[in-house]
Amino acid sequence: MTHPFDLGAGGAVDKHQPDLSRRLFLKATAMTAVGGGLMLSLGACDLMDGGKAPSEVAMIPVGSHIMIATDGSVTLLAPNPEIGQGVKTSLPMMIAEELDVAWDQVTVEQADLDTAAFQFQVAGGSLSTPMLSLALRRVGAAARQMLISVAADHWQVPASDCVTDAGQVIHAPTGRRLGYGELAAEAAKLPVPELTEVPLKDSQDFRIVGKGVKGVDNPKIITGAPLYGIDVSVPGMAYAVFVKCPTYGGKALSANLREIKALPGVQDAFLVEENDSRPSAGAGWWLAGDGKADPSWWNAEGLNNWPDMLMSGVAIVADSWWQTQKARESLEVVWDEGRAGDQSSEGFDAQAEAFFADPPKEVRWPELGDVDQALKESSDIIDVEYRFPFLAHATLEPQTATASVTRDTDGTMKVEVWSGPQLPAIAQATIANMLAIPEEKVTLHLTRAGGGFGRRLLCDSLLEAVWISKIVGKPIKLLWSREDDTQHDFYRPGGYHRLKGGLDRDGKALAFDNHFVGFGGDKAFSNAADSSSPGYLYGNIPNMRYKASKIPLYIPTGSMRAPMSNSHGFVFESFVDELAHKAAIDPISFRLNMIDPTKEAPSWGNLTDGVPLTGFNPTRMRAILELVAERSGWHQKKLYGPKQGQTAENNNQPRRGMGVGCYFSHMGYFAEVVELTIDRDNSVTIEAVWVVGDIGRQIINPLNAENMVQGSVIDGLGQAMGLEVTFEGGAAQQSNFHDYPLIRMAQSPKEIDVHFHITDNTTTGLGEPALPPILPALANALYAATGTRYRKLPLPIVDGVLETDGGNS
């Protein structure tokens, strides 16, 4: 399966996905306001607001996303899952803009999953913005047009004589006004205009989009109001934990269930068998088809790509979650560990070395020129090995879901689920398959998620909650412990590169030879374990060979923020840096020399209406490299190269260094510079970070955009400075934050300068592309400060102290 999220680095995308604008239609119903205050969506927010009284004012739906009250207040439904990427604010902003209401007239509510009403309810791939910007603007504009036509009809004037302003329709020649609240009931009866024909605002007239808007949930977040999956409470609910084998894929054979059931508060304890109900592919990769997936694809050679299924384990159900945890301490399970039991990090490293001893077999990217000949002709050669570890997603809110399986009035089974999955349509289909019920019987309320980062692409915790609810016959709140979360991840995969590079006498890169050792089987790489394209290296170095080998892996891997780019970016951008220093040319100038402005990769179709899938554009990358050089004082400070003979011992001054990284991923371009100092005691201070990004012509919410870049930078720095997951006996050796130390306040840079370079290109997403460059920027700055090249992640900086001066190749 082509990876849906690797768009920017030249990866393939499913070219058969439907054009959204044809499917996203406005469903104006004939429903008029019902007296007495009818709230139209009984979503999770209603349940958890502690019985908020329904609005006294009737809300009228004008399409799927918009409800207008008779007093003119507007409720917008935020369609996509909110995992911290800010779409609960930014997507409604676009509707409100074209609807032409003032933001302070707007209340935002989270939409539930509704595959008929909402398209592309996904959190992933940095895709909400490019997939939905135009469609949601059209939704707002269409409703505005319907409201205008009601007013025009009322006044018996041409609609073209009417304008709108902050929720009112105005007859321009006479100044007469009618508020949207007065018009909504009639507007709701009208047929929907052709969405592709509704006029949209000129961006110069934007009053909401492009202005900083604060997060709509902030007032609830800062006062502890219920918002997250973990906060859900359903009457009659019991609590559950689901214990799985530490070795991935292990099966529970027996357990001391009778003893557990006798413990305080425990209502039930039982074994659960593995259940694979993964749906077949749908019309788009985020949708499910009818029926179940062909297991031979998912389980090629015993590898379990995309483990979106109920695993074997032991469920403990109790009156409170704490009691399930206490009971768990006494649980004894006999496991059949299965084939992952032989897998270990030590074994992987040994297999990688064995592969490097032989020529690689599999071609990853088509060869260019004659690498061996070019290496012979090179005046300078580098021959180096890089590696990066497995990582855990570590969302701060552990995996959790609440489910209630009941019987409908006709006796058939139905289920209501509250959780925050990133692919809710897939979750719905998988649950339906598992219970052998139609999808319409699966109601999925989307709760705000305490972080996604790709972990919540899987619906495994939802399946567990549903299954347990079905067995015990009551609502179940399932919560994973931190240990569960760390040890039952689908990990960002590790990998190894053996790279050779050759330079000519003028310092121009002539040759690039890469043997990448990743994880997978004969037919395919493990999920998200493939390598990115080498980006601008490809085509700008005339002789290139890029081959791969694969280590068999029976532990699940998967997408984590900027899949593949988040690791290979470090490798390629460090490698370019090594070439630059070998050529004795500063690393930004070296990149500018390499990136040929005439070599623009061709467009390769459309993501959706109005969003071309453009290949790598060298002009955009060159522009941000020049800008980041300027903003960081790169050429003035001259901190990009190690001073001759400088070590901690012979120099009283702190060592200083600046490093750069640039990357194109998820259709966005980012160039980043890190400046750091290292004291005599080896403590490392990241003095400043400069980020320049190009994500197109319109930053939707500048406040959130800057926040997202800061977060991406800190995320990447944290990964680089201390995170790795290692395996022994097919089980992760890390379990909690004491041995998987997420970055803290003291290690974060105090200043992160963020600048968006606006270009006349379609606006693309921001969840991911700012992350890949920061890791090599840090490693390159470390080289500049110390003269030691670090080729392995994590870098040996622990609690802000550089552990060794000896390099870690």
> Which DSSP helix (H) or strand (E) runs through 462?
helix 460-472
- Of 264, 289, 291, 473, the one binding other proteins by CB under 8 A: 264
Can you say whether the dihedral through the CA atoms of 407, 410, 413, 419 is positive or negative?
negative
Candidates 68-76, 197-205, 476-484, 599-607: pick the segment binding other proteins (CB under 8 A). Answer: 476-484
Candidates 135-143, 321-329, 523-531, 601-609: pick the segment binding other proteins (CB under 8 A). Answer: 321-329
In terms of CB distance, is 397 or 675 closer to other proteins? Answer: 397
Phi, psi of 40 (to 5 degrees): -85, -20
Which residues make beta-bridge pairs with 548? 362, 516
User: Which class for 42: exposed (0-12), middle (13-18), buried (19 or more C-beta within 10 A)?
Assistant: exposed
Buried b / exposed e across 726-759, counting CB within 10 Å, b at 16+?
bbeebbbbbbeeeebbebeeebebeebbbbbbee
Report the nearest approach of other proteins to the CB of residue 638 (Å).
Answer: 27
- Of 72, 81, 84, 668, the one binding other proteins by CB under 8 A: 84
- Name which of residues 301 to 320 contact other proteins (CB under 8 A): 320
Report the nearest approach of other proteins to the CB of residue 121 (Å).
Answer: 18
CA angle 192, 193, 199 (to 5 degrees): 140
In terms of CB distance, is 442 or 752 closer to other proteins? Answer: 752
x/- map, 742-781, other proteins, by CB under 8 A: xxxxx-xxxxx-----------------------------
Report the nearest approach of other proteins to the CB of residue 272 (Å).
Answer: 23
Query: In this structure, which amino acid lies at residue 146?
Result: M
d(CA 499, CA 3): 25
Report the nearest approach of other proteins to the CB of residue 126 (Å).
Answer: 15
- Of 712, 734, 763, 764, the one binding other proteins by CB under 8 A: 712
Candidates 227-235, 283-291, 333-341, 382-390: pick the segment binding other proteins (CB under 8 A). Answer: 227-235
d(CA 764, CA 798): 35
Contact between 670 and other proteins (CB under 8 A)?
Answer: no
Contact between 236 and other proteins (CB under 8 A)?
Answer: no
- Of 8, 313, 693, 711, the one binding other proteins by CB under 8 A: 711
In terms of CB distance, is 123 or 585 closer to other proteins? Answer: 123
Report the nearest approach of other proteins to the CB of residue 141 (Å).
Answer: 28
d(CA 706, CA 348): 39
Candidates 14-22, 80-88, 500-508, 659-667: pick the segment binding other proteins (CB under 8 A). Answer: 80-88
Residue entry with tokens 């400046």: 675
Contact between 688 and other proteins (CB under 8 A)?
Answer: no
d(CA 60, CA 38): 9
d(CA 318, CA 320): 5
Report the nearest approach of other proteins to the CB of residue 786 (Å).
Answer: 24
Sequence-distant (≥ 6) Cβ neighbours of residue 128 within 8 angstroms: 80, 85, 87, 90, 91, 120, 122, 765
Helix residue spans in 109-158 (DSSP H): 128-155
> Which DSSP helix (H) or strand (E) runs through 385?
strand 380-388
Phi, psi of 724 (to 5 degrees): -160, 145
Identify whether the C-beta of residue 421 lies closer than 8 Å to the C-beta of residue 464: no
| Number of separate helices (H) and strands (E) present in the chain | 21, 33
Contact between 322 and other proteins (CB under 8 A)?
Answer: yes
- Of 737, 801, 803, 804, the one binding other proteins by CB under 8 A: 737
Report the nearest approach of other proteins to the CB of residue 508 (Å).
Answer: 38
| Beta-strand pair 655-665/668-678 | antiparallel
3-class secondary-structure state, position 276:
coil
d(CA 729, CA 572): 32
Contact between 224 and other proteins (CB under 8 A)?
Answer: yes
- Name which of residues 120 to 179 contact other proteins (CB under 8 A): none
Candidates 83-91, 99-107, 269-277, 585-593: pick the segment binding other proteins (CB under 8 A). Answer: 83-91
Identify whether the C-beta of residue 445 lies closer than 8 Å to the C-beta of residue 43: yes
The Cα diameter of the chain in Å comes to 88
Report the nearest approach of other proteins to the CB of residue 501 (Å).
Answer: 33
In terms of CB distance, is 239 or 285 closer to other proteins? Answer: 239
In terms of CB distance, is 25 or 690 closer to other proteins? Answer: 690
Contact between 710 and other proteins (CB under 8 A)?
Answer: yes
In terms of CB distance, is 682 or 748 closer to other proteins? Answer: 748
Report the nearest approach of other proteins to the CB of residue 538 (Å).
Answer: 31
In terms of CB distance, is 322 or 376 closer to other proteins? Answer: 322
Contact between 215 and other proteins (CB under 8 A)?
Answer: yes
- Of 109, 231, 577, 768, the one binding other proteins by CB under 8 A: 231
- Name which of residues 434 to 463 contact other proteins (CB under 8 A): 448-453
Phi, psi of 604 (to 5 degrees): -130, 50
Helix residue spans in 496-617 (DSSP H): 537-540, 565-583, 587-594
Ranges of beta strands (E only) in 79-175 are 106-110, 162-165, 168-171
Contact between 482 and other proteins (CB under 8 A)?
Answer: yes
Q: Retrieve residue 412's tokens.
A: 């058939």
Report the nearest approach of other proteins to the CB of residue 687 (Å).
Answer: 13
**Distances from the Cα of 216 to the Cαs of 89, 91, 108, 227, in angstroms?**
6, 11, 7, 12
User: Residue 453: left (phi > 0), alpha (psi -120 to 50), or beta?
Assistant: left
Contact between 52 and other proteins (CB under 8 A)?
Answer: no
- Of 54, 158, 212, 291, the one binding other proteins by CB under 8 A: 212
Candidates 91-99, 479-487, 541-549, 670-678: pick the segment binding other proteins (CB under 8 A). Answer: 479-487
Contact between 209 and other proteins (CB under 8 A)?
Answer: no
Identify whether the C-beta of residue 759 lies closer than 8 Å to the C-beta of residue 619: no
Candidates 101-109, 598-606, 671-679, 740-748: pick the segment binding other proteins (CB under 8 A). Answer: 740-748
In terms of CB distance, is 53 or 222 closer to other proteins? Answer: 222
Contact between 94 and other proteins (CB under 8 A)?
Answer: no
Q: How many residues bind other proteins (CB under 8 A)?
A: 65
Candidates 104-112, 501-509, 595-603, 714-722: pick the segment binding other proteins (CB under 8 A). Answer: 714-722
In terms of CB distance, is 154 or 326 closer to other proteins? Answer: 326
Residue 804 CA, chain-centre distance (Å), reads 34
Candidates 10-18, 70-78, 102-110, 218-226: pick the segment binding other proteins (CB under 8 A). Answer: 218-226
- Of 316, 394, 629, 705, the one binding other proteins by CB under 8 A: 394
In terms of CB distance, is 83 or 517 closer to other proteins? Answer: 83
Report the nearest approach of other proteins to the CB of residue 80 (Å).
Answer: 14
Which residues make beta-bridge pairs with 661? 672
Contact between 650 and other proteins (CB under 8 A)?
Answer: no
> Which DSSP helix (H) or strand (E) runs through 753?
strand 752-756
Contact between 233 and other proteins (CB under 8 A)?
Answer: yes
3-class secondary-structure state, position 486:
helix
If we measure between CA atoms, which residue out of 127, 109, 93 comes closest to residue 20?
Answer: 127
Report the nearest approach of other proteins to the CB of residue 215 (Å).
Answer: 6
Binding residues for other proteins (CB under 8 A): 83-84, 86, 212, 214-215, 217-219, 221-228, 230-231, 233, 239, 264, 320-322, 325-326, 394-398, 448-453, 479, 481-482, 703-704, 707-708, 710-715, 718, 736-738, 742-746, 748-752
